[in-house]
Amino acid sequence: MKKTVWLLACSIATLISCHRLNSPNQIVARTYKSQQKLRISAHRGNSGLAPENTLATFQKTLDMGVDFIEIDVRTSKDNQLVILHDGTLNRTTNGTGPISNLTLTEIKQLKANKGWETQFPDERIPTLEETLQLVSSWNKERNTKTYIYVDCKQVDPKPLVQLMRKYRLDKESVYYGNDDFLVRLKAEDPQSKRMPSLDKAEEMERKIAQIAPYAFDVNWLQLSPQLVKDIHQKNIRVFSDALGPLDQEKNYQKAKELGIDLIQTDHVKSVYRYFLGK
């Protein structure tokens, strides 16, 4: 009898696990990845289904099978690393003023659900550690992993790298920031995948010498077949943002035709739908 109950429990657990791994979103993601080389980053973790830069939207974009979740890291008054795009709390929370003026305890009293109050009545500003815990736990159950596209808004390299290493997300995640920050990051972790912006082709050689980038975040309006070719010949990847008015089907196709490596979007499902016809 005990053996029968144990076998039944194992079977149920297996079915639940298989269902998670084969949800409609996961099937679409695997199909896309088997057909397309163009990788996808969810800008501010946007899913269109939950507030930006929150655990709720990160969970939903994980289920969508994105390659990267882009997050914005800032530092609280008591040196805790938190996720918020803007320097001030006004736009996305019920707080006001600079987030750097508050301790983590004070930050956690705020709600990060402006515009989503009914659907997400108690969503809070996440810490970087909470975000990494979520992604790390998700990756443990899946063959296809999601990594972090870290927009280093206001953070020192050392505590950032320490947390990324703790959750074993340091090696495959990418770090975007200003050139001075990336130089300091290079000194802290020479193996980090650094990604400076590239607004002008003539800046490329200086940035390569200074930063040794894994990728360039190339200004969408500067993208050209020749520039993409030149960057790839140096064994550097090309990432670009198709955001706001650029986030449309003709530019998804442009990204593919140019052969860039990753597109950042606020509309992950729209990219899937365009390429898969679903």
Q: Which of 48-52, 205-209, 248-252, 274-278 has the lowest mean pLDDT?
A: 274-278
pLDDT 10s digits, 28-79: 999 999 999 999 999 999 999 999 999 999 999 999 999 999 999 999 999 9
pLDDT at 54: 98
Q: Other C-beta atoms within 10 Å of 232: how many?
A: 14
Residues 175-195: what's their mean pLDDT? 98
Residue 191 has pLDDT above 60, yes or no: yes
Q: Which residues pair with 175 in a beta bridge?
A: 150, 194
pLDDT at 84: 98
Residue 214, token pair as written in the block: 């894994």
Residues 125-137: what's their mean pLDDT? 98
Angle at 187 between CA 184 and CA 190, to 5 degrees: 120
pLDDT at 22: 66
- Which pLDDT band holds residue 93 (cuts at 50, 70, 90)? very high
Residue 274, token pair as written in the block: 């365009």
Q: Report the distance separating Cα 41 and Cα 164, nearest Å.
A: 18
Q: Which residues contact 116 (CB under 8 A, 6 or more apart)?
A: 50, 51, 123
Q: Report the distance separating Cα 40 and Cα 68, nearest Å.
A: 6
H or E element that contains 149: strand 147-152
Residue 176, token pair as written in the block: 């975007």
Q: Report the distance separating Cα 263 and Cα 247, nearest Å.
A: 10
| Residue with tokens 């009914």, as numbered in its chain | 118
Residues 180-208: what's their mean pLDDT? 97
Amino acid at 150: V
Alpha helix (H) residue ranges in 141-265: 157-166, 179-188, 204-211, 225-233, 249-258
Residue 13 has pLDDT above 90, yes or no: no
- Whether 155 and 143 have beta carbons less than 8 Å apart is answered as no
Please state the CATH superfamily assignment of the domain spanning residues 27-276 in this structure: Phosphatidylinositol (PI) phosphodiesterase (3.20.20.190)
pLDDT at 229: 98
pLDDT at 278: 58
Nearest Cα to 112, choosing from 95, 87, 92?
92
- Which pLDDT band holds residue 277 (cuts at 50, 70, 90)? confident
pLDDT at 161: 98
